[in-house]
Amino acid sequence: MERINDKINSVNSDYELQTANALWVQEWYPVKEAYIHNVKKYYDGEVTNLDFAGKPDASRDTINEWVEARTNDKIKDLVSEDSITANTRVIITNAVYFNGKWVYEFDKELTDKKPFYPTKGEEVSVNMMYMCNNFNYGENSKAKIIELPYKGNDLSMYIVLPKNNNIEKFETEFTLNDYTELKNDMEFVEEVKTTIPKFKFEAKTELSDSLIEMGVTDAFNLDRANFSEISGSPLAISRVIHQTFLDVKEEGTEAAAATMVGMGMGMSISWDAKPKEFTADHPFMFFIEDGRTNCILFMGKVEYPEYEE
């Protein structure tokens, strides 16, 4: 993990990529020195004492300012007013910021209003970008995939476009193995007629219920949670909040994400002369990946692409 963080946070003039981790602890709450050491050593994390119980507003402001500074002011108010209570003991924050330019930028003059077909509902008119260039491309019976590399050649966006317009069914059945197989079967194609929408979105999600539904139950229950490697005192997760910003346009992508965990008591390459078409005119999934570490930094789906300047 230490080496992965070093790779991700290494300086590159072609793009901005930074991850940051921090541990915020109630000032009198006992946290084991070994855990603090590991946070600093393996995650390059900061450890700060705050007075959640006595000064919840000041504590919230401190954490939010930290997140904003590390996401170029894209993630604001991660910690909301009701996130800190008298029982809050530890808050863990993680922030990721990325700003990169495409290797092959889309020509703004070719961007035009075109139809997009949501899985449910009527078609909408969206800003569609277009280019014809050489890309890594692949497909199977269920989906198409294309790799859009960023300058610096360390990071890429992979777009996975289902052949059937049913994103809910597709994402439910789509596994990491499916994604890996699609990528491994990609070929370098000289001409790929590529049409994708511009899209920008911000989202803030409470993940606690989703994690419990996935089976992560003991961690939220004070009687069953075992965080003894963090502290000798009882500890459980109270909330998990994730917030994302993403801007995909002709020049490239700007993206930021931050997560707060509140704890309290209680390819293969070949040449193909035949042009391919990749037209993302219905819902799709995307992955921004660091090729040096094979880490997926951002992933999501686009159901209704919207773009406001």
Residue-wise pLDDT for 52-91, tens only, equals 889 999 999 999 999 999 899 999 999 888 888 888 888 8
DSSP 160-190: EEESSS-HHHHHHH--HHHHHHHHHT-EEEE
208 pLDDT tier (thresholds 50, 70, 90): confident
Spatial separation of the C-alpha atoms in residues 236 and 23, rounded to whole Å: 15
Residue 182 CA to residue 300 CA, distance in Å, equals: 17
Tens digit of pLDDT for each residue in 265-292?
544 444 455 689 999 999 999 999 998 8
In this prediction, residue 129 has a pLDDT band, given cuts at 50, 70 and 90, of very high
H/E stretch holding 296 reads: strand 295-302
d(CA 1, CA 305): 34
User: pLDDT tens digit string along 19-33?
Assistant: 888 888 889 888 889
Question: How is residue 246 written in tokens?
Answer: 């993403």
Distance between CA atoms of 31 and 228, rounded to whole angstroms?
A: 10
